[in-house]
Chains A and B, each alone.
Chain A
Amino acid sequence: MHDVGWKVGGKQGEGIDSTGEIYAIALHRMGYYVFTYRHFMSLIKGGHTNYKIRVADEVVRHHGDLVHVLIAFDQTTIDENWRQLAPGAVVIYDGATFQAHLPDGLQAHLCDVPLTGIAKEAGGAIMKNMVSIGVTAAVHGIDPTAFLPVIQDKFGKKGEAVVQANLEAVRQGYAYYRSHYDVSIPMPPLPQQRSSDHLFISGNQATGFGALDGGCRMLAAYPITPATEIMYWLIEHLPKQGGVVLQAEDEIAAVNMAIGANYAGVPAMTSTSGPGFSLMMEALGLAGMSETPLVIVDVQRSGPSTGLPTKTEQSDLNEALYGTHGEIPRVVLTPRTVEECYRFTADAFALAERYQVPVIVLSDLYMGMSAQSIDRLPREEVTRDRGRRMSDEDLQALAPGAYVRYDDSSPTGISPRSIPGQRNGRYVALGNEHNGIGLEVEEQYIRVAQANKRRRKLAHFAHQSGVSVDGVKDAPFALIGFGSTHGVLEEARAALARQGLTIKHIHLSRVAPFPAEDMMAALAGVERALVVELNQTGQLADLIRKEVGFHDVLSNCLKYDGDPIELREILARAEQVFPTGVLQ
């Protein structure tokens, strides 16, 4: 794989995101694979923000450790990001705005380009972003006209003059760099083969799309970073399918609305992040107890409490697994990729209806907000199921009032449900312990029979998620992760293998029901495993110990400073943990 890293940084509100997005989409349309990462703060104006793009000639699943071209709109951008500069990197700044300086001894080229001056000449200071894209094009030898289609898309509504002015800004930036500097950094070769789909999509968009395709027809949610984008996406698309998006007054309302709709026969979900997820815990129990299908997407962010609202983490694992009082059956899916954000969210509706349980999809800010190039969405793999239902005929065939919604004699624990409006199908769905027809009871034997019925439902759970193993199957060393770290762990595995370590990568795309058998098999013969996760206490490692043991085999690699983990951080920890003699 060949790749380069590009980053633009400045103050929030300076158009950093749109600059990054325009450049990323342009590269994507040229046929490259890009991975973007937005670093931003929980405030509106001021504060440092940056947009990273990694460009490659094949699919990339991580934003990459290195930056080869840095567009710095202020000194803070340099101070915050110089550690990522690759040797020989180009740093572009505007000497009319500030005098840039790099740490002593750093091998990088500082290039003063009058970004704002050129932009003003082209038609307005705000176009300094387009000028910097032109400069980047010059550094990489990209023809500036390649940006025309994206500029047209972005500014076409504002008229041809605006389109031309922006293109001119790109051209002028390109020309200025060409005539003043000669450092160039080659682009990766264009991918030879390109899938016809070649999509540019974020985890949040893929989640919204998956929900829509999986049958979701009601979203009730309350705005929260980084999950709101799911709401935005569905507001665009759900009403066209006869669906509804409700902005609830809070997350308690949101989750109870999703329960109400599912009870009444409409696949519904709620999407949220940590603080909202916490507010949903009581209702999660109601869904479990009343056997009402429910889908919750938790796009994790840094906790606890309000935490770092715009930063990533994987610290809601325990809450997803154990949250709510009492005991309920539940499914917790941890998609590894944006493709799985799509497929697992779609599948979540089928699983929720098939098993009549809450299904939690655990995504995170890193995967949710990072738009990236992928080849295609696996639509043909989506599970479609409306679960066991009483048909009108089934109900008519019963004696009046004979329908038993919570029939505990069901061997699978799953008893077909009816939908309000259906004749002879009345019952009460409830959070109290209940008998077969949904009346609250406290007899011990009924309680136990119903609790066992609920628990049986997942005994034969089946879904294409669980444990994946990449690399040398019987390797003595292993990297372990869950969810969005799959990409970077694959890169770590490849790097360690190149250094001579016999290693595999075990990854969990589902944590409940826990795929214990497969995990046992994956860990058999492993002498040392490094469990990589973005939290402080090693929640995944604890889960693995609890479920399958291997206490002395597991070591932790933890990160909880809010930033996504870098490849080099994993490798540095690997060096401490794996037998150093093996590594060169």
Chain B
Amino acid sequence: MSTMKDFKAEKPTWCPGCGDFGVLNAMQRAAVALGLEPEDVVVVSGIGCSGKMSQHFGGYGLHSLHGRSLPTAQAVKLANRNLTVFAAGGDGDGYGIGMGHFIHAIRRNIDITYIVMDNHIYGLTTGQASPTSDVGSQTKTSPRGTVERPIEPLQLALSERCGFVAQAFSGDTKHMAQVIERAVRHRGFSLVNVFSPCVTFNKVNSYEFYKEKLVNLDADPAYDCHDRLAAMRRVAEADNLVVGVVYEDTEQPAYDDAVYGYPEEPLAHLEPRLSDAMYEEILATFR
């Protein structure tokens, strides 16, 4: 059995107090709780402060391009279904430059877990407006306040019938670890949007800001996370300020269960050789 120690890599390079520490810790805890070996976990990250996750997590890592963690991670999973695959990135990475892939990853429903460290700001590039910045946010690229409406990741995922939609907060890593654990257990694409404060460039969306406002749906016995329309209403009423599993649909088949011809054994373990008989059979189609 692996322990937290097995997932330790080099010392992270985030600012002291950065919310991403909490995310790292929760991912590691979830991995331990799930009984995963570090070599069986791949973290595919985008570019940003959040993108450093692939280097810090302590499994195999693929630090891909800005906005491209999702297509890359989906292919890693298809290549080897035995692996537990995380895609990880920031709000700019996932909901800005990589937004197209997000919707399509939901549609495709490959069994990966997508963790977005949503700090409402571009951290690594030192503080520009992000697609989740609230209207009026003053940043380096919006000194007089942003005018664009923010993306609502949960609503977007719900409207696309994402099979697992959750939100967590870096101020409560214990709860986040539970959420991530459930996300990994879910067969199919799972979204975990995390309020992960950037203590350096976003003084508004701070730990205190969230602590006061967040409602934990997991702690609400009356909340039914299998009712999509109710979930949309609840998220809207709370102005997106919820944590916990917002929605889960266990009926949707994952891509690899549905697609024609996909083998039981991991593709990466198969010898990619065309038999002479198959070769001849194909050749005959050209005669």
Contacts and interface: CB of A to CB of B under 8 A. Distances in A.
A249 B100 contact: yes
Interface stretch (A104-112, A239-247, A471-479, A510-518): A239-247
A419 interface: yes
Contacts of A220: 71, 75
A258 B261 CA distance: 19
Contact of B72 (A249, A256, A266): A256
Contacts of B75: 218, 220, 246, 256-261, 264, 268
Given A213-B279, A266-B268, A421-B266, 4 more contacts: A205-B286, A253-B104, A426-B38, A439-B10
A249 B55 contact: no
Most buried by A among B72, B82, B83, B274: B72
Nearest to B40: A421
B71 A252 contact: yes
Interface string B53-96: 01100111111110010111111101110110000000000000
Interface stretch (A61-69, A76-84, A428-436, A534-542): A428-436
Contact of B68 (A200, A252, A423, A438): A252
B218 to A, nearest CB: 31
Contact of B63 (A237, A239, A260, A431): A431
B262 interface: yes
B263 interface: yes
A424 interface: yes
B85 to A, nearest CB: 9
B192 interface: no
B79 A265 contact: yes
Contacts of B103: 249
Contact of B78 (A253, A261, A379): A261
Interface of B: 10, 37-40, 42, 44, 54-55, 58-65, 68, 70-76, 78-80, 82-83, 100-101, 103-104, 259-263, 265-268, 270, 272-274, 278-279, 282-283, 286-287
A198 B54 CA distance: 52
- 5 nearest CB pairs, A to B: A239-B261, A260-B75, A428-B61, A215-B272, A430-B63
A467 B101 CA distance: 42
A379 B79 CA distance: 26
A428 B80 contact: no
A429 B63 contact: yes
A213 B71 contact: no
Contacts of A428: 54-55, 60-63
B100 A431 contact: no
B65 A256 contact: yes
Interface in A414-447: 419-432, 438-440
Interface of A: 29, 197-201, 205, 209, 212-213, 215-218, 220, 237-244, 246, 248-250, 252-254, 256-261, 263-268, 282-283, 286, 290, 377, 379, 419-432, 438-440
A45 B44 CA distance: 45
B55 A430 contact: yes
Given A239-B261, A429-B61, A197 B39 contact: no
Contacts of B268: 264-266, 419, 421
A197 B283 contact: yes
Contact of B278 (A218, A241, A259, A430): A241
Nearest to B101: A253
A427 B60 CA distance: 5
Given A218-B267, A260-B71, A429-B62, A199 B286 contact: yes
A424 B40 CA distance: 11
B79 A282 contact: no
Contact of B283 (A199, A250, A429): A199
B90 to A, nearest CB: 16
Contacts of A431: 63-65
A61 B50 CA distance: 54
Contacts of B263: 242
